[in-house]
């Protein structure tokens, strides 16, 4: 065992693997930071609420009912979160398929962000299921439910998480100093990327397809037979806006890990992403107009829900689209970041309008999330950020790969 451990970790100063991992688990940096002070109490409270949820049932901590069985945990944690994770399939497509090397420096951090999002938001599904132990049924063949869209989404989630793990695994091999494993895993990257892109495009639209079955429950301004297409197109600029937002924060928080070359290239990357966002948002806005006219929705505009719909479409789609166009032409990085932030708010608004606000909008007793649902949602987000930070501080995600890994890549290209 000891010899094997030394072989696995021989590039990490000959440290035995388990000793190496034990040292890696130790905290780094300051403990009493503003983020830690805010997040730790919320996480502890959220974990207590989760225990109560599994001990006493979902009704003990949520305002969900038989009429409204899906609420904040589905609408935000899953449907919105998966849209924000769309940056992974877009960036990998641009780098590995379109050969846009300009964006190669952000591939790993984007894939990591997407992978963690899927793991945590798929995990959040367990909280929302009345019988969470049945989540394994589509995988093992018990009550397959092959006629259900949920069966398709379940398998897409599972396979896509595996594909993203393979895409990110070379960074893990570099961290452990496993040269042979790194070489093998790097060779699997292209196949994993192609497989992952295919799955992601399908399940982004598949989440929208879930709501095709709720025609009588969703407000006509947000329901249409084109929800799957709208979900897919919006996931492009939603994911890239998250890349802009997360990348801008990482540039400051993890500044010491990024080399000078990548620092200089950051603004150029943001400008390129802004252009893509503007084009994708134009396509989305045009599709929304077609759906609006084709569905003769103007009869609903002169109402509170109609004004809310216009707020979403004009304030959180048209406005940031114009800001993206303007910022790209003027090369204004601040406006790019502002447009990305507004776009993210717009995606949250859109997904919640479909899944919560516009769902059973005419019911006598409308659903509102309980404070415990909100705390659990924040808990999921904060734990994800903690793990993201832990990985960034230890693995070669933002910083350069080890020299031996760069040499392997150079030899492979020859």
Give 98-122 as a DSSP string.
Answer: S--GGGGGGHHHHHHHHHHHHHHHH
Model confidence band, residue 413 (pLDDT cutoffs 50, 70, 90): low
304-348 pLDDT, tens digit per residue, is 999 999 999 999 999 999 999 999 999 999 999 999 999 999 999
Residues 203-208, mean pLDDT to the nearest whole number: 87
Distance between CA atoms of 160 and 154, rounded to whole angstroms?
Answer: 10
Instruction: Report helix, strand or coil for 218.
Output: strand
Model confidence band, residue 9 (pLDDT cutoffs 50, 70, 90): very low
- Of the two residues 394 and 122, the one the predictor is more confident about is 394
Distance between CA atoms of 218 and 308, rounded to whole angstroms?
Answer: 14
pTM assigned to the model: 0.89
Task: Report phi then psi at 359, rounded to 5.
Answer: -90, 120
Fold for 68-408, please state it.
Formate dehydrogenase/DMSO reductase fold (1.20.1630)
225-268 pLDDT, tens digit per residue, is 999 999 999 999 999 999 999 999 999 999 888 888 888 899 99
User: Quick one: pLDDT at residue 139?
Assistant: 79
- Of the two residues 156 and 375, the one the predictor is more confident about is 375
Domain ranges of the chain: 68-408
Residues whose CB is less than 8 angstroms from the CB of residue 4 and which lie 6 or more positions away in sequence, other chains included: 17
- Of the two residues 134 and 39, the one the predictor is more confident about is 39
User: Quick one: pLDDT at residue 15?
Assistant: 65
Write out the two tokens for 56. Answer: 């006493």
Nearest CA-CA partner of 240 in 276, 267, 271: 276
Give yes or no for a contact between 277 and 241, defined as CB atoms under 8 angstroms apart.
yes
Residues 130-141, mean pLDDT to the nearest whole number: 79
Task: Report phi then psi at 44, rounded to 5.
Answer: -60, -45
Nearest CA-CA partner of 87 in 266, 279, 244: 244
Give yes or no for a contact between 39 and 382, defined as CB atoms under 8 angstroms apart.
yes
User: Quick one: pLDDT at residue 164?
Assistant: 94
Percent of the chain with pLDDT over 90: 57
* Ordered DSSP codes for 150-179: HHHHHHHHHHHHHHHHHHHHHHHHHHHT-H
62-105 pLDDT, tens digit per residue, is 998 888 888 899 899 889 999 999 999 999 999 999 999 999 99
User: Quick one: pLDDT at residue 6?
Assistant: 39
E-strand spans in 286-375? none
Asked if pLDDT for residue 3 goes beyond 50, the answer is no
């Amino acid at each position: 065992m000891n010899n094997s451990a030394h072989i696995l970790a021989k590039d990490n100063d000959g440290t035995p693997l388990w000793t190496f991992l034990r040292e890696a688990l130790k905290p780094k940096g300051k403990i009493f930071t503003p983020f830690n002070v805010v997040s730790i109490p919320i996480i502890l409270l959220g974990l207590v609420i989760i225990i109560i949820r599994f001990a006493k049932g979902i009704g003990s901590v949520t305002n969900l009912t038989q009429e409204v069985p899906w609420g904040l945990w589905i609408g935000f944690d899953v449907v919105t979160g998966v849209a924000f994770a769309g940056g992974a399939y877009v960036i990998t497509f641009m780098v590995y398929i379109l050969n846009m090397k300009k964006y190669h420096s952000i591939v790993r951090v984007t894939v990591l962000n997407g992978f963690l999002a899927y793991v945590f938001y798929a995990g959040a599904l367990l909280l929302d299921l009345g019988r969470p132990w049945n989540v394994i049924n589509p995988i093992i063949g018990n009550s397959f439910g092959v006629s259900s869209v949920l069966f398709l989404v379940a398998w897409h989630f599972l396979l896509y998480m595996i594909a993203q793990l393979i895409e990110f695994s070379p960074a893990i091999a570099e961290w452990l100093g496993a040269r042979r494993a790194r070489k093998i895993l790097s060779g699997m990257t292209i196949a994993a990327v192609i497989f992952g892109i295919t799955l992601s495009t399908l399940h982004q639209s598949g989440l929208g397809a879930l709501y095709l079955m709720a025609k009588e429950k969703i407000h006509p301004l947000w329901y249409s037979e084109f929800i799957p297409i709208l979900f897919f197109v919006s996931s492009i600029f939603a994911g890239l806006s998250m890349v802009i937002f997360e990348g801008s924060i990482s540039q400051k928080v993890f500044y010491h890990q990024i080399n000078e070359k990548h620092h200089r290239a950051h603004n150029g990357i943001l400008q390129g992403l802004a252009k893509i966002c503007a084009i994708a948002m134009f396509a989305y806005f045009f599709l929304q107009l077609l759906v609006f006219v084709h569905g003769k929705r103007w009869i609903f505009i002169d109402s509170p829900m109609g004004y809310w719909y216009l707020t979403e479409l004009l304030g959180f789609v048209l406005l940031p689209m114009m800001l993206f166009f303007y910022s790209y032409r003027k090369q204004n990085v601040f406006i790019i970041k502002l447009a990305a932030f507004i776009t993210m708010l717009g995606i949250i608004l859109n997904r919640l309008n479909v899944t919560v606000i516009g769902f059973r909008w005419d019911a006598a007793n409308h659903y509102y999330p309980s404070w415990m649902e909100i705390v659990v949602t924040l808990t999921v987000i904060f734990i994800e950020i903690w793990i993201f930070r832990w990985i960034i501080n230890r693995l070669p995600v933002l910083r350069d790969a080890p020299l031996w890994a760069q040499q392997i890549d150079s030899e492979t290209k020859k």
